[in-house]
Amino acid sequence: MIITLIKVKDDGTILYYTLHDRQPLLMARYALSVAWRSGEGQGREKIYGFETVAEMDRKIRSLFSRRIRAGYKLLYSFMRERPAHSASDAEMAAMLKRRKLS
């Protein structure tokens, strides 16, 4: 999933705000990265970890609605059928078993 929001300030400065789930974390099953920048300036990023998709979904909705209220507009979005780095419990167990055997 990727969502990019944009806002043009009165002075012409363009603000970008992006949410994505493409960066995995070692310590959490699901991850959400939030990146923001002003125009051509250097960006900043924050990464959140979650144990369930529901927790991640609540955070996405919260961040998205906060930015929309602040005047941002949707620039681009892409959704997968399931999060980029989610594996079923059976897949995770099989992967760990293979690693122990090697």
Residue pLDDT, tens place only, 9-51: 999 999 999 999 988 888 999 999 999 999 888 899 999 999 9
| pLDDT of the residue at 86 | 54
Say what percent of the chain tops pLDDT 90: 64
pLDDT-derived band at 102 (thresholds 50, 70, 90) equals very low
The per-residue pLDDT for 83 is: 53
SS (H, E, C) 29-95: CEEEEEEEEECCCCCEEEEEEECCHHHHHHHHHHHHHHHHHCCCEEEEEECCCCCCCCCCHHHHHHH
pLDDT for 30 equals 93
